[in-house]
Amino acid sequence: MKSPRLRAALLQETDRGSVAANLDAIEAGLREAAQAGAQLVLLQELHNGPYFCQHESVDEFDRAETIPGPSTERIGALAEELKLVVVASLFERRAAGLYHNTAVVFDRSRAIAGRYRKMHIPDDPAFYEKFYFTPGDLGFDPVETSVGKLGVLVCWDQWYPEAARLMALAGAELLLYPTAIGWDPHDEDAEKQRQRDAWITVQRGHAVANGLPLLACNRTGFEAAPDAGRGIQFWGNSFVAGPQGEFLAQANTDRRELLVVDIDLQRSEHVRRIWPFLRDRRIDAYGDLLRRFRD
């Protein structure tokens, strides 16, 4: 029987310089999380290496791997050994010329419990993801696990209320976002603060609008641009919000941290009773949401 309380951990990490070093750090983090009594661990976006999307280069496709593949084999074995539910994030090689940004879920087993392919793909300075990733084709379906139905989304998805809502409508009990987001080092401090506040605020809004706990795990540290650009200072600040948007835990800005938090899964039921947003939706009047814009 599923427990009404969930101890979750978010592993906020820096790039360690190689796939082997990053997976070693992840193994250490998973062992630390298990020692702390965690049942669920969320890893950051594309955790096997640097955020390579700062430039466009065909050589970067060499980083991709199949799923199942070497990384899922290692992380799955750890999930089984440590009896953890683990949400990983990988550059998937589906076929020659077909690649995805894919989250993979393990449920205390080396077998893959489910996966989600990133649906919203950005194309902005230093975030040239459309060059690398095909938009996801698996829809917005939660992954059933022993700790609940996980609504797993990825990074840029976190700006879209539709994605969170569709996960909630499909029965998700938590929203989870592996993330890689940071500042242009040349931006003014006030602009940096606005960007980080917006990132936090929009996700807290998803928690509120859907009455669900939300976990966002970001990377941290400065990563130089391969093409001598400005680079990105990833801002960390991984956090967990409750179903009213309240902070349950928040990590630091500039260093590795294992954030461990206890989540009361029964609060969603209580919150949705007093704030019945799903009841009051006007689904008969939302047809224009399927239009790009109302001209």
Is 153 domain-assigned? yes
Is 291 domain-assigned? no
**Residue 155 appears among annotated catalytic residues:** yes
pTM to 2 decimal places: 0.97
Is 290 domain-assigned? no
* In the predicted structure, residue 209 carries a pLDDT above the cut 80: yes
Per the residue annotation, which of 13, 45, 60, 173 is the catalytic one? 45
164-192 pLDDT, tens per residue? 999 999 999 999 999 999 999 999 999 99
Is 285 domain-assigned? no
pLDDT bin (cut points 50, 70, 90) of residue 258 is very high
Per the residue annotation, which of 155, 173, 217, 257 is the catalytic one? 155
85-123 pLDDT, tens per residue? 999 999 999 999 999 999 999 999 999 999 999 999 999
At 228 the pLDDT is 83
pLDDT bin (cut points 50, 70, 90) of residue 25 is very high
At 293 the pLDDT is 96
Is 288 domain-assigned? no
- CATH number assigned to the domain comprising residue 222: 3.60.110.10
**Residue 118 appears among annotated catalytic residues:** yes
Per the residue annotation, which of 13, 53, 92, 118 is the catalytic one? 118
Is 286 domain-assigned? no
Please state the three-class secondary structure of the chain as a single string: CCCCEEEEEEEECCCCCCHHHHHHHHHHHHHHHHHCCCCEEEECCCCCCCCHHHCCCHHHHHHCECCCCHHHHHHHHHHHHHCCEEEEEEEEEEECCEEEEEEEEEECCCCEEEEEECCCCCEECCEEHHHCCCCCCCCCCCEEECCEEEEECCHHHHHCHHHHHHHHHCCCCEEEEEECCEECCCCCHHHHHHHHHHHHHHHHHHHHHHCCCEEEEECEEEECCCCCCCCEEEECCCEEECCCCCEEEECCCCCCEEEEEEEECCHHHHHHHHCCCCCCCCHHHCHHHHCCCCC
Is 207 domain-assigned? yes
State how many domains the chain has.
Answer: 1
At 12 the pLDDT is 98
At 166 the pLDDT is 98
Is 213 domain-assigned? yes
At 3 the pLDDT is 77
pLDDT bin (cut points 50, 70, 90) of residue 1 is low
132-146 pLDDT, tens per residue? 999 999 999 999 999
* In the predicted structure, residue 2 carries a pLDDT above the cut 80: no
Containing structural domain, residue 143: 5-280
224-246 pLDDT, tens per residue? 999 888 999 999 999 999 999 99
Section 8-15 average pLDDT: 98
